[in-house]
Structure 1
Amino acid sequence: MTERETTRLVAWSQELRRVHGRLREALDVTRAALADGTPGQAATRDLLLYCHGFCTALDAHHRGEDRSLFPAIEAAHPQLAPVLRALEQDHSMIGHLLGELQAAVARAATRAELQRHLDGVAAIMENHFRYEERRLLGLLESLDLVADPGDVLGPL
């Protein structure tokens, strides 16, 4: 096996780690925008921007996994179907929470309400990422999937 082939094989686990790290950073920036808002002001322009960017990036990441990554994993490792279904269920739950967060930002909810939404998304997202990394990183090092990482894991 050439170095290029080895690099390509290991790249999926590295890409997943990188994308999860960037999504964690985006959540931190969104939280900071909320904390920096003027007292009494429900949502700053920065919060609207960061929230939209974070929500869009996380949703794109999960859609890419559902569309490309998970089918490739299941084809190579059919015994992981229950794990993949649980991850897809997490994606659905996170999508619902993101929708509620976006609606709260759009209606200029209070800082306390927005913080509760962000806390809920953060808790589920972190639990999901840790489970996904624990269950999938090792096999991603040998996954033979020829695809654009942005299409598979989102544009981060």
Structure 2
Amino acid sequence: MSSTDPNRLIAWDRELRAVHHRLRDSLQIARDAVDDAGPLSADLRLFCTGFCAALDGHHRREDDTMFPELLAAHPELRDVLSQLTRDHHMLSHLLGELQRAVDAGHDAATLHQHLDGIEAVMETHFRYEEKRLLAPLADLVVEHEPRAMLGPLA
């Protein structure tokens, strides 16, 4: 239930899909910023940093809040959640590499290589997560706000 509206039951499976959609949009905005701006532009730094923060924030909220709730309700998901957590660590590393490349003023081709790698891992991760977690999430009832469970884009 949402504390802002105690009569609203959160459909966590739909919330997760919506956050994934917004993260895909954020990645495209970061790509557009690479294409439209010089490597040291403020817009490029803003959009790449914003995307990195949004994706990392989403994964931190999942690790800290959503995954423990799912594990408590569905202990059989332990291996799935462990794999997803490993993915989060890999993506965090890739995001750090992107941020370092942006800060160093690398060219558009190099930044796109970083974004391509992030996108490949992110898409595989999202598909696996949705395949394995949407059904358990559809039945999950917890006392958390969407942002607490899914991060800044929830």
TM-score, length-scaled by structure 1: 0.91
Correspondences of 1:50-69 after superposition (within 5 Å) = 50-69=47-66
Distance in 1 between the 2:20 and 2:6 partners?
A: 24
Q: 1:122 aligns with which of 119, 124, 140?
A: 119
Distance in 2 between the 1:66 and 1:133 partners?
A: 15
- CA shift, 1:12, in A, is 0.6
- CA shift, 1:138, in A, is 1.0
- CA shift, 1:43, in A, is 3.6
TM-score, length-scaled by structure 2: 0.92
- The answer on whether the counterparts of 1:30 and 1:50 sit within 8 Å (CA) in structure 2 is yes
Gaps of 5+ in 2: none
Cα deviation, 1:53-94, whole Å, max 9, x if unaligned, reads 100010110000000100111111111100000000000000
Partner of 2:79: 82
- The answer on whether the counterparts of 1:94 and 1:125 sit within 8 Å (CA) in structure 2 is yes
Counterpart check, 1:95 vs 2:92? yes
Partner of 2:32: 32
Partner of 2:14: 14
Distance in 2 between the 1:68 and 1:30 partners?
A: 27
Distance in 2 between the 1:12 and 1:155 partners?
A: 15
> Which ranges of 4 or more aligned residues in structure 1 deviate by more than 2 Å?
4-7, 41-44
> In structure 1, the residue corresponding to 2:9 is in which secondary structure?
helix
Give percent identity, aligned residues only: 51
The alignment of Structure 1 onto Structure 2 pairs a total of residues equal to 149
Q: Taking structure 1 as reference, are residues 115 and 43 closer, same or farther at Cα in structure 2, changes over 3 Å only? A: farther
- The answer on whether the counterparts of 1:51 and 1:102 sit within 8 Å (CA) in structure 2 is yes
> In structure 1, the residue corresponding to 2:131 is in which secondary structure?
helix
